[in-house]
Amino acid sequence: MSTTRRYRYLAPSAGAAPAKFIVAHLGAGDEQQFCFYDTLEIGRYEASRTELPGQLLIDDPTVSFRHCLIAQTPAGRCTVRDVSRNGTRLDGRRLVPNVESSLAVGQTIEVAPGCSFVLLGDTAPADTARDEGGRTIEAAGVTIATVLVGDIRDYTVLVRQAPAMELQRSVGRLFERLTEEVVRYDGTVKEYQGDAVFAFWEGTPEGEQAAKACAAALALNRLAVQLADDRATWDVPGFPLRMEWALATGPVIIDSIGGTRRRAGLSMVGEAVVLAFRLEKLATEATGPIVTCAVTRRMAGHAFRFRDLGEMQAKGFDRADRVFALLGDGLESRTDGGPGGRS
């Protein structure tokens, strides 16, 4: 059942791009369609606000005054950019603020809980500075996320000994390919920290996000192995590419950072974030390239094979915890060895 919301919309004049529609409550009795051509701005409705063509305004205090911007090229390719306080999600994946993401017909944009739109059309922004009216009510809260950290092994040695220009270009090309893979598995890349990629999957206590993250970690590791032999990506002679990965799942708070006019990125706070970075340092030749916390293993154990590595104490934590190696797809129906015996 859809939540009743007040929408205000002034249709724009026909533009250079083909007509597209975003649809609220698709297939329901209260379905509403909003046509646009070149650009569409989604934001919060306020009685004092001057309404302009091409703006879709929603009577919801958790929607930002300017929440997200949809743009379309003359060829029909669409993008969406989040500029909000509380975040915009594309098919459930939270977008990084002020980074354009491709938007395809059939995909769903969510701007608030229970408030989403499906893009329809034939196929694939105006950014005028204005003072905001009322303040957006913060909707940031605790969510259960699986955090992934991938790190280039021996990066300190690389920085000291490898040619700087070749290393910089190779790392840039590598991270570009890794980002594409994370997005392909419905994850969000929060940032890169020197030699590390930091991504996450939001979800619920039932844990579907952990399985997605495990599938992504396996795919990312396979991709890194392939790219190590691809001179078009990794071109640092004498310094082979090797990466380690870690996954941790737990409660986190995700929020946008930056001023009201321009969101600069995402802030994520929670023990799972720290644990993922610490667990990655525990990966060795003996453990294998991907290590996980016990919560991730429990949530994804129905779909993936793990090896119990026993109890290890991550740096900065006051006690040892069970750590697992992620081995691959498949039901856990056998003992995989390791200090703990059964996986």
CATH number at residue 287: 3.30.70.1230
Q: How far apart are CA 148 and CA 290, in angstroms?
A: 10
pLDDT at 258: 60
pLDDT in tens, 38-88: 999 999 999 889 889 999 999 999 999 999 999 998 888 899 999 998 889
Q: How confident is the model at residue 4 (pLDDT cuts 50, 70, 90)?
A: low
Tokens read off for 225: 């192995």
Tell me: do 15 and 44 sit in the same domain: yes
Residues 258, 146 within the same domain? yes
3-state DSSP assignment of residue 271: helix
Whether residue 287 sits in one domain with residue 209: yes
Cβ atoms of 5 and 58 closer than 8 Å: yes
Q: What is the DSSP letter of 301?
A: T
- Per-residue pLDDT of 307-336, as tens digits, reads 999 998 888 777 888 999 999 987 544 434
Domain that holds residue 208: 142-329
CB distance 145 to 250 below 8 Å: yes
Residue 151 confidence (pLDDT): 93
Distances (CA, A) of 288 to 22, 92, 132, 241, 278: 46, 31, 51, 15, 16
Confidence of residue 341 (pLDDT cuts 50, 70, 90): very low
197 and 238 part of one domain:
yes
In this structure, the number of other CB atoms found within 10 A of the CB of residue 341 comes to: 11
Helix (H, G, I), strand (E, B) or coil at 242: coil
Kind of pairing between the strands at 196-203 and 243-258: unpaired
Instruction: Specify which of 235-239, 250-254, 333-337 reaches the highest per-range mean pLDDT.
Output: 235-239
What pLDDT score was predicted for residue 264? Answer: 54
Under 8 Å between Cβ of 99 and 81:
yes
Q: Are strands 142-152 and 188-193 parallel, antiparallel or unpaired?
A: unpaired
Using CA atoms, how far apart are residues 228 and 164, in angstroms rounded to an integer? 18
Dist CA 252 CA 272 (whole Å)? 7
pLDDT value at residue 276: 94
* Count of the separate structural domains present in the chain: 2
**Per-residue model confidence (pLDDT) at position 306:** 97
Average pLDDT (176-187) is: 91
